[in-house]
């Protein structure tokens, strides 16, 4: 899986945009007074259409992130004529139906807002991009933009980190636009590691303006544009046993899995207790903005 | 006969100049800084009085062998061999000698400021110490750290270098181990032809001679035979040059004529039989089981251009058979040259002496021949392999794959196992977050979602998509954000806060940073504390760290007001790390004292 050779890419400003839309119903109903899903969709649809207008060869693919499933709801390159973004609406409705049918019946009471399956949709986006890489001699420059609002699910930490690293390897930047109340540590890390832009808009009414100013820029132009940079990144990891976010813990010396308590046997790499010879040392995972001090 | 405190050891021994020598019997007396040997026979000249300072090492035979020997080696290569009556005697002396050498080694060395010689409390080889000193000299940061901690007594030498093994090895392997290969130049024997006079000059350097000997075994053989018996070296090379000149004129008939007159010249002009033999042997060694499909490209017999694309004269005279041996084939020469170059340098002899070069090459060839001839086993193996390869495949029984079964753990119980847990702990994962209360049931939530979608479907997008005032505010906000970032983080993204600080502050900060890294590394590695050694180590490290702590505070205060914020941002994580270490240490000490309160023995 080699990164794309420059000669294989079409002209500089052709891009393939993978948009991951957060369709977590709990999240949207909790944020209803401030911002509704329909307003959100109207901003996003206008944005998608304008991307398609920027260049004839631009491609847009939309993946909806639900709480039980993820699915492709729009692909601008399907069909003989490039489609307008509105055609994603019926598919989105279907997706919502499907997602609802997958949820369990007895989960009626308010449990707090659950997390949506970000890891799943990231993986789907990366697979689509890989397919495009292998499709022909020339392909556009891909990037992923996550419009996300649900809180981070610590259980997805490992899967999300894996997709972040494979995105980094394939040189696909992950941009994040967080529309929820709190910052998302996972998306901060994702954008930091892959070289994308992380933004939490102050005013959700102006979402379209944010999208058009910051996220519509293609990768080539980003070399000479100044885009907003976050001040710091939250690098906390979550432990593998309880999935809590921790900043001081124990690390297995063989497979580097993180645990919050001292363990006799590593649950990731140890199969028999006397075979695994992992030694646990205490490690401190703190904010490595201090690492910028090293020249 | 040994003192209780091992100050002096006196033993009967024989001094030998070599292992075979019967030796002179006498008495060996060892003190802390020297050893003396007095022979029994006062008239014997074998008397020794040597300081341990000059002794660099000691070797000894194993217990139980024929002789109990102890060999003390000096730096310049001299050595003293002593044979003892029995092994226990020898072992006592050996241990004493070891400690005496170590002692004298330490005392004899001063500790200069610059070269920071490591303190010897372990047996280090000279090479290892050299490497360390070299590394310290090259890297001034490392040297500062070393000075601060090892000379300051906080860390021991071994601990300091324990984590830097990779650095030492890297340094060591950086020495170039390559040798210059043979030249690929075939035309070096081209003579310089003077246009005016009838003279042709050949230049033969030792390098060229080596190549000639390697490529043309007949010439080598002739050299060994003729020189110095029949002719001098100069004459030999003159004849050889003449032969080369004749070849270069491509006048086969003239070559044959000259060869008929001068038999030595004939050797150079004829085909090389030794080469032919070698080629035949190589062909025999080709593996017949190698399956190479031949296709049109391999057909070089019927090419219009003969000789692999080298143009030949169209008027190919059919010469008499007597002239055939004098024809030289260019492709053969090229192949032989290529084979020699690829083989590389086979011999290690210096190139000055032609005769030794020739002999060395002859020897290697002989060795190869002998090896091949005696390699019956190899032949047998080849035959076996051939018979195995020619087995008929469909008559064979299926062979079990010689692999170990793969055991892949189910990734599901790795990713999903704690989903239930995750839900319940969601409340306290992100600090300071406002809790989004979802008092709506799932079904209702989905309903509202679908409603929103259908709303858009029927109403279409709102017009305008965005209010102009809102858009203006957003743009302003973004611009301000970007410009303030630029102001704070610097114009150049590569520039960091450190560059804007005064030089002294920056150096201090970096020094403190690297010292803290080093101290913390050792501090955390000594937990959990199980031995007294670790306890003292942790205490020492903690004291060193508490010394650095106020220095950091000072730096924060001393810097100018406009930079103060950034400096405190830089210093903050360092202080946090130190605080965490201190907290851990204090908690541990408390636990320890609580436990030792229960058990009066302490630990």
- Model confidence at A71: pLDDT above 90: yes
In this complex, do A206 and B576 lie within 8 Å of one another by their Cβ atoms?
no
To test the contact with chain B by mutation, choose from A27, A37, A204, A213 the residue with the greatest count of B C-beta atoms within 10 A, namely A37
In this complex, do A90 and B510 lie within 8 Å of one another by their Cβ atoms?
no
Give the closest of A100, A111, A242 to B421, CB-based: A242
pLDDT at B427: 38
pLDDT at B302: 60
Mean pLDDT across the stretch B335-350? 73
Mean pLDDT across the stretch A273-284? 34
Around Cβ A130, how many Cβ atoms within 10 Å? 15
DSSP label of B544: H
- Model confidence at A120: pLDDT above 90: yes
The alpha carbon of residue A171 and the mean position of all alpha carbons in its chain are separated, in whole angstroms, by: 14
Least confident of B35-39, B404-408, B427-431: B427-431
Phi-psi region of B272 (alpha: psi -120 to 50; beta: other; left: phi over 0): beta
In this complex, do A100 and B446 lie within 8 Å of one another by their Cβ atoms?
yes
Residue B340: band (very low, low, confident or very high) from pLDDT cuts 50, 70, 90 = confident
Least confident of A138-147, B375-384, B398-407: B398-407
pLDDT at A51: 92
Question: ipTM for the complex?
Answer: 0.76
According to DSSP, the residues that pair with B193 across neighbouring strands are B200
To test the contact with chain B by mutation, choose from A86, A105, A155 the residue with the greatest count of B C-beta atoms within 10 A, namely A155
Q: Which is more confident, A266 or A166?
A: A166
**A154 vs chain B: nearest CA distance in angstroms?**
7
**B309 vs chain A: nearest CA distance in angstroms?**
37
List, as one string, the DSSP characters of B572-595: HHHHHHHHHHHHHHHHHHHHHHHH
In this complex, do A37 and B429 lie within 8 Å of one another by their Cβ atoms?
no
How far is Cα A136 from Cα A122, in angstroms, rounded to an integer? 23
Instruction: Please check whether residue B581 is in contact with residue B523, taking contact to mean a CB–CB distance below 8 angstroms.
Output: yes
Q: Is A103 on the interface with B (CB under 8 A)?
A: yes
How far is Cα B317 from Cα A66, in angstroms, rounded to an integer? 89
**A249 vs chain B: nearest CA distance in angstroms?**
12
Find the residue in A nearest to B524 (Cα): A282
Give the closest of B422, B442, B478 to A228, CB-based: B478
Q: Over the Cα atoms of chain B, what is R_g?
A: 42
Q: Is A216 on the interface with B (CB under 8 A)?
A: no
Question: A234: helix, coil or strand?
Answer: coil
**A26 vs chain B: nearest CA distance in angstroms?**
6
pLDDT at B559: 76
How far is Cα B574 from Cα B594, in angstroms, rounded to an integer? 30
pLDDT at A276: 29
Find chain A residues with C-beta within 8 A of B576's C-beta: 286
How far is Cα A31 from Cα A47, in angstroms, rounded to an integer? 21
pLDDT at A72: 93
Among A216-230, A242-256, B372-386, the range of highest mean pLDDT: A216-230
To test the contact with chain B by mutation, choose from A112, A201, A242, A291 the residue with the greatest count of B C-beta atoms within 10 A, namely A112
Mean pLDDT across the stretch A227-237? 74
Q: Which is more confident, A125 or B83?
A: A125
To test the contact with chain B by mutation, choose from A40, A114, A209 the residue with the greatest count of B C-beta atoms within 10 A, namely A209
Give the closest of B422, B456, B489 to A38, CB-based: B456
**A74 vs chain B: nearest CA distance in angstroms?**
14
pLDDT at B309: 52
- Model confidence at B495: pLDDT above 80: no
Around Cβ B325, how many Cβ atoms within 10 Å? 15
In this complex, do A108 and B442 lie within 8 Å of one another by their Cβ atoms?
yes
Please identify among residues 147-186 of chain A the ones whose CB lies closer than 8 Å to any CB of chain B: 151-156, 158-159, 181-182, 185
Residue A21: band (very low, low, confident or very high) from pLDDT cuts 50, 70, 90 = very high
Q: Is A32 on the interface with B (CB under 8 A)?
A: yes
| Inter-CA distances, B224 with B137, B217, B359, B363, B485, Å | 53, 11, 7, 12, 82
- Model confidence at A88: pLDDT above 80: yes
How far is Cα A172 from Cα B289, in angstroms, rounded to an integer? 49
**B470 vs chain A: nearest CA distance in angstroms?**
6
% of chain B surpassing 70 pLDDT:
66
CA atoms within 13 A on the CB side of B130: 5
Among A64-68, B214-218, B278-282, the range of highest mean pLDDT: A64-68
Instruction: Please check whether residue B498 is in contact with residue A295, taking contact to mean a CB–CB distance below 8 angstroms.
Output: yes
Looking only at the bridges linking them, the beta strands covering B34-39 and B48-51 are antiparallel
pLDDT at B216: 78
How far is Cα B548 from Cα B556, in angstroms, rounded to an integer? 13
Helix (H) or strand (E) holding A72: strand A70-75
How far is Cα B570 from Cα A291, in angstroms, rounded to an integer? 9
pLDDT at B349: 62
A·B CB contacts under 8 A: 212
Q: Which is more confident, B382 or A199?
A: A199
pTM (predicted TM-score): 0.47
Q: Is A235 on the interface with B (CB under 8 A)?
A: no
pLDDT at A272: 32
Find the residue in A nearest to B466 (Cα): A206
Closest residue by Cα to residue B81 from B94, B71, B92, B66: B71
Q: Which is more confident, B420 or B98?
A: B98
How far is Cα A261 from Cα A242, in angstroms, rounded to an integer? 10
Phi-psi region of B291 (alpha: psi -120 to 50; beta: other; left: phi over 0): beta
Mean pLDDT across the stretch B578-591? 87
Instruction: Please check whether residue B552 is in contact with residue B577, taking contact to mean a CB–CB distance below 8 angstroms.
Output: no
Least confident of A140-144, A248-252, B75-79: B75-79
To test the contact with chain A by mutation, choose from B418, B458, B565 the residue with the greatest count of A C-beta atoms within 10 A, namely B418
pLDDT at B481: 85
Find chain B residues with C-beta within 8 A of A286's C-beta: 573, 576-577
Tens of pLDDT, residue by residue over B319-329, are: 555 666 666 66
Residue B372: band (very low, low, confident or very high) from pLDDT cuts 50, 70, 90 = low
Tens of pLDDT, residue by residue over B81-128, are: 888 888 777 877 777 777 777 776 655 444 333 344 444 445 567 777
Mean pLDDT across the stretch B255-279? 73
Mean pLDDT across the stretch B283-305? 65
pLDDT at A121: 95
Tens of pLDDT, residue by residue over B469-484, are: 999 999 999 888 888 8
**B509 vs chain A: nearest CA distance in angstroms?**
9
pLDDT at A181: 85
Question: B498: helix, coil or strand?
Answer: helix
Residue B360: band (very low, low, confident or very high) from pLDDT cuts 50, 70, 90 = confident
Residue B41: band (very low, low, confident or very high) from pLDDT cuts 50, 70, 90 = confident
Give the closest of A89, A182, A292 to B453, CB-based: A89
In this complex, do B456 and A284 lie within 8 Å of one another by their Cβ atoms?
no
pLDDT at B290: 67
- Model confidence at B533: pLDDT above 50: yes
DSSP label of B41: S
- Model confidence at A59: pLDDT above 70: yes
Q: Is B2 exposed, middle or buried (0-12, 13-18, 19+ CB in 10 A)?
A: middle
Q: To the nearest whole number, what is the mean pLDDT of chain A?
A: 80
Tens of pLDDT, residue by residue over A183-208, are: 888 899 899 899 999 999 988 889 99
Q: To the nearest whole number, what is the mean pLDDT of chain B?
A: 72
In this complex, do A151 and B433 lie within 8 Å of one another by their Cβ atoms?
yes
What are the structural domains, with CATH classification, of chain A? 7-104+113-223 (3.40.50.410), 236-282 (no CATH)
Residue A212: band (very low, low, confident or very high) from pLDDT cuts 50, 70, 90 = very high
């Amino acid at each position: 899986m080699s990164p794309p050779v420059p000669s294989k890419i079409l002209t500089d400003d052709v891009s393939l945009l993978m948009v991951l839309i957060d369709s977590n119903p709990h999240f949207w109903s909790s944020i209803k007074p401030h911002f509704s899903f329909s307003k959100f969709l109207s901003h996003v649809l206008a944005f998608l259409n304008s991307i398609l207008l920027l260049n004839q060869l631009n491609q847009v693919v939309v993946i909806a992130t639900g709480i039980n499933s993820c699915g492709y709801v729009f692909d601008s390159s399907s069909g003989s004529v490039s489609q307008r973004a509105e055609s994603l609406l019926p598919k989105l409705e279907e997706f919502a139906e499907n997602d609802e049918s997958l949820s369990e019946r007895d989960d009626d009471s308010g449990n707090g807002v659950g997390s949506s399956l970000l890891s799943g949709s990231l993986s789907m986006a990366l697979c689509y991009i890989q397919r495009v890489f292998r499709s022909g001699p020339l392909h556009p420059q891909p990037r992923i933009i996550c419009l996300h609002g649900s809180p981070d699910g610590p259980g997805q930490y490992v899967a999300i980190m894996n997709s972040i690293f494979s995105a980094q390897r394939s040189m696909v930047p992950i941009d994040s636009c967080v529309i929820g109340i709190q910052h998302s540590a996972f998306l901060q890390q994702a954008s930091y590691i892959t070289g994308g832009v992380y933004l939490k808009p102050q005013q959700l009414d102006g979402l379209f303006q944010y999208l058009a100013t910051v996220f519509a820029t293609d990768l080539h132009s980003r070399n000479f544009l100044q885009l907003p940079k976050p001040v710091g990144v939250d690098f906390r990891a979550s432990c593998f046993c309880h999935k809590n976010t921790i900043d001081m813990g124990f690390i297995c010396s063989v497979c580097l899995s993180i645990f919050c308590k001292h363990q006799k046997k590593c649950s990731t790499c140890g199969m028999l207790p006397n075979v695994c010879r992992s030694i646990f040392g205490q490690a401190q995972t703190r904010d490595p903005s201090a690492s910028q001090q090293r020249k | 006969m040994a003192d209780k405190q091992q100050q002096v050891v006196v033993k009967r021994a024989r001094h030998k100049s070599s292992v075979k020598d019967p030796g002179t019997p006498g008495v060996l007396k060892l003190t802390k800084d020297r050893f003396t040997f007095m022979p029994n026979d006062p008239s014997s000249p074998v008397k020794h009085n040597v300081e341990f300072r000059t002794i660099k090492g000691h070797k000894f035979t194993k217990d139980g062998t024929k002789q109990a020997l102890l060999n003390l080696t000096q730096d310049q290569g001299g050595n003293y061999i002593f044979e003892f009556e029995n092994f226990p005697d020898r072992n006592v002396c050996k241990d004493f000698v070891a400690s005496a050498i170590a002692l004298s080694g330490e005392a004899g060395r001063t500790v200069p400021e610059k070269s920071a010689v490591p303190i010897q409390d372990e047996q280090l080889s000279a090479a290892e110490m050299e490497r360390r000193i070299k590394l310290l000299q090259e890297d001034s940061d490392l040297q500062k750290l070393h000075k601060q901690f090892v000379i300051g007594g906080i860390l021991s030498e071994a601990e300091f270098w324990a984590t830097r093994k990779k650095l030492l090895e890297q340094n060591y392997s950086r020495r170039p181990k390559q040798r210059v290969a043979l030249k690929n130049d075939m035309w070096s024997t081209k003579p310089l032809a003077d246009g005016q006079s009838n003279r042709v000059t050949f230049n033969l350097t030792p390098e060229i001679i080596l190549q000639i000997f390697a490529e043309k075994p007949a010439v080598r053989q002739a050299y060994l035979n003729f020189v110095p018996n029949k002719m001098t070296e100069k004459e030999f090379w003159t004849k050889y040059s003449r032969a080369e000149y004749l070849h270069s004129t491509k006048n086969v008939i003239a070559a044959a004529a000259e060869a008929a007159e001068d038999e030595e010249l004939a050797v150079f002009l004829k085909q090389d039989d030794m080469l032919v033999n070698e080629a035949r042997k190589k062909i025999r060694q080709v593996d017949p089981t190698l399956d190479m499909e031949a296709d049109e490209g391999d057909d070089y017999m019927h090419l219009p251009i003969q000789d692999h694309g080298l143009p030949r004269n169209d008027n190919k005279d059919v010469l008499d058979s007597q002239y055939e041996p004098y024809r030289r084939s260019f492709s053969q020469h090229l192949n032989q040259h290529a084979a020699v170059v690829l083989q590389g340098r086979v011999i290690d002899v210096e190139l000055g002496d032609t005769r030794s070069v020739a002999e060395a090459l002859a020897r290697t060839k002989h060795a190869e021949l002998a090896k091949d001839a005696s390699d019956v086993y190899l032949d047998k193996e080849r035959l076996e392999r051939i018979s195995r390869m020619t087995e008929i495949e469909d008559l064979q029984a299926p062979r079990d794959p010689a692999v170990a079964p793969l055991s892949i753990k189910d990734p599901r119980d790795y990713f999903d196992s704690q989903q239930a847990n995750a839900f319940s702990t969601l409340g306290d994962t992100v600090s300071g977050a406002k809790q989004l209360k979802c008092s709506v049931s799932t079904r209702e939530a989905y309903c509202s979602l679908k409603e929103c979608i259908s709303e858009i479907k029927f109403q279409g997008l709102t017009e305008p998509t965005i209010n102009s005032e809102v858009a203006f505010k957003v743009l302003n906000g973004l611009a301000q954000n970007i410009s303030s970032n630029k102001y704070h983080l610097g114009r150049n993204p590569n520039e960091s806060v450190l560059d804007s600080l005064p030089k002294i502050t920056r150096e201090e900060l970096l020094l403190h940073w690297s010292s803290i890294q080093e101290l913390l590394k050792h501090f955390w590695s000594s937990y959990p504390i199980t031995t007294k050694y670790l306890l003292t180590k942790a205490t020492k490290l903690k004291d060193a760290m508490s010394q650095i702590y106020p220095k950091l505070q000072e730096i924060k205060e001393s810097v100018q007001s406009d930079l103060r914020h950034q400096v405190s941002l830089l210093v903050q994580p360092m202080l946090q790390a130190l605080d965490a270490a201190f907290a851990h240490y204090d908690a541990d000490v408390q636990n320890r004292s609580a436990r030792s309160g229960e058990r009066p023995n302490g630990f």
